[in-house]
A = this chain, B = another copy of it.
Amino acid sequence: MIFFKRTTHIKAAFLGLFSLLLSSVASAGSHPNLVITIDDVKLMRQAIKGEGQFAMAYNDLKAQVDEQIKQPITVPVPKDGGGGYTHERHKKNYQVMYNAGIIYQLSEDDKYADYVRDMLLEYAALYPTLDVHPKRKVKSQNPGKLFWQSLNEAMWLVYTIQAYDLIYDSLSAAQVKVIEDDLIRPVSLFTSEGQPSTFNKVHNHGTWATAGVGMAGYVLDEPEWVEKSLYDLDKSGKGGFIKQLEMLFSPQGYYNEGPYYQRFALLPFVTFAKAIENNEPQRNIFEYRDGVLLKAIDTTIQLSYNGLFFPINDAIKSKGIDTIELVHGVTAAYGLTNDTGYLDIAKKQKQTILSGDGLKVAQALDNQMQTPYEFRSVAFGDGNDGKQGALVVMRTQVGGDQAVLFKPAAQGLGHGHFDKLTWQFYDRGNEIVSDYGAARFLNVEAKFGGRYLPENETYAKHTVAHNTVVVDETSHFNANVKVGNNNHPTLNYFTTNEFGTVANGSISSAYKNVELERTLALINLPELDSTITLDIFNANAKTKHQFDLPLHYKGQLIDTSFDLKANASQLSALGSNNGYQHLWLKAQATPQNGLAKVTWLNDNGRFYTQTSLVSGDEEFLFTQIGANDPLFNLRNENGFIRRVEDQKQHTFVSILEPHGEYNPSKEYTLEAVSRVSAANYIEQGNLLLVHLIIKNKAYLVAINKAHSKASNTFTFKNKSFTLNDRLGVYALKNN
């Protein structure tokens, strides 16, 4: 049988239209051989006899599996939708089968294999009796049988095929026949031929499906399944795993929906790729597109701050680098590269994968081989060509670990927010200028069944929920996802040098006949052990409009440099639509010409001042989230909106500055007051100049808009300056 399998495999490889190389080292017939190989198992068996993290992780998992397999096997007839009993039971079943399979391989104790076998046989008895799931969505093209949607069915297959592979050697031929004929084959066929629209879809749902079916192809020696998984059911290459790798990631490995979804999508990519690498190394899957998969893992790490992902789009804000998907990703990345920077991340993840790569990571960490992982300032080009705008990360360590996230990025499909050119600011581990993320209490039944809350549509996705310009109280693209997906901002430039990092993005399709352009710069002022963030937002329209620029901050308002007119005893919602209906208007003000300062204090005792350069035409509206929220679904966070009315053009200029410390425990307060005492903004040809005095030191910040990086000599206040790069900062003599 083994010989026969190998023969068919080779034949299939010859036939495979898109196979590039002859499959000379076909290993079908050896089990396990997906993510975990026979060689891995040998080393892992050795390692668990010793001490160290790997042995600890093994013992932990074994204890957990021992508890679980004490319970009777339960394979209920599918009945409930997401979150319901049968749904959760089938999810738990595939996880326990996978874990028990690993423990079987490592402990060589048959009871674990027997448990998996018995459960598989129960599934094999149930599956042929099932029609599509009773809780499927009406008219849905992707129902499951065990689950209400085929995404879960594909996930079940990804885990279960690995569990089957892990215990294969313990089974009789008769058992193999029952499990394959009555379970694995029908599930694989239902997941592939049974719903081409999902299987061929260039989307993360498609990735799970192709990963499950492709791995089943390796285990059951069905090379055609592998081919179809890689290159579409018709093997045209129009769909399938390879197309997904080509389309879903940018050349730098950025995933269009943002890091929250990127880490979710990562798992089937990494899992299937490891299985391909182990079975058909000649496909060089990890080298595809200049190593895009590895870049995707690395980019996911880069898109985090203090362990948490930047919460753009529909993101749950507590998700971060310790999510299991990225643990798998980092484990694979270290396995592939031996880059000890990944060990730094692995150490923070505090989880050990029981696999060959997991063993490598654990042993390296036992030997303290980790070196600091370098977080960089990067513009991640968006879209599969990397040219559909960009997600920009600026970082510095001057005055504390800081990051600016700037988003001249594409819409990011259905989970994208209408937040073109928005930004966020982070300092000393904390979110300072914030993004609401998704309005959702994951799995909390009382909160709309744990699904996305209605307020995700009515507030969180809208432009006003972000830190970017809203025109006439309507959202970008009029909140139409399709229009959003078909249009994207442009990243005009991005530069990082010793002075800091600057980027400029623009979009003219968010609103008809309105051009929005933003320049953001994170500037190092090492003499002051401090930074400032410059924000220059230009809105340019053919006709007159209202322009609003919100800033959502985390903390308590401490001071304003202008008088507030507060709505003290009665509050009203700020508007009636597009998210405005969820904002209470707490106070308003119209600062005079000059510097308008708003200072707040965060929970960790640091002050932040936004200094706006105003000329008397901006109104400041102080808001709190929570209006028209009868079920208390929203967090009551604070912000303020700078508003100009009836203008064709307006440039919002501001400086954000972290400062001082509030330490009531030790009874001291330092630098509670903004140090910026003067600031001017000047456009001079292609140059954006900001002249400011901070802590009695005068600076000139110069940004060169021109597309060339050529040397530029300019004169300011009768003094000559040379700017060799896009960004320069000059200390001036005080005057």
Contact = CB atoms under 8 A, between A and B. Distances in A.
Contact of A444 (B318, B324, B558, B624): B558
A568 interface: yes
The copy count of this chain in the complex is 2
A599 B665 contact: no
Interface stretch (A110-118, A178-186, A469-477, A668-676): A668-676
Contact of A662 (B444, B632, B635, B664): B444
B447 A558 contact: yes
A60 B665 CA distance: 20
Contact of A631 (B444, B446, B564, B601): B564
B319 A664 contact: yes
A667 B573 contact: no
A572 interface: yes
Contact of A441 (B322, B558, B571): B558
B444 A323 contact: no
A349 to B, nearest CB: 12
Interface residues of A, number: 53
Contact of A664 (B318, B558, B571, B631): B318
A446 B558 CA distance: 7
A464 to B, nearest CB: 16
A219 interface: no
Mostly helix, strand, loop or mixed at chain A's interface? loop
A630 B568 contact: yes
A369 interface: no
A629 B568 contact: yes
Interface in A428-455: 441-447, 450
A57 interface: no
A662 B587 CA distance: 35
B630 A566 contact: yes
A474 to B, nearest CB: 20
Contact of A573 (B324, B443, B446, B570): B570
A320 interface: yes
A473 to B, nearest CB: 16
Contacts of A323: 665-666
Given A443-B669, A446-B673, 15 more contacts: A319-B664, A319-B665, A322-B665, A441-B664, A442-B662, A443-B664, A444-B669, A444-B672, A446-B599, A568-B627, A569-B581, A570-B573, A571-B584, A586-B626, A587-B630
Nearest 6 pairs between A and B by C-beta?
A566-B630, A446-B559, A443-B669, A557-B632, A571-B571, A442-B664
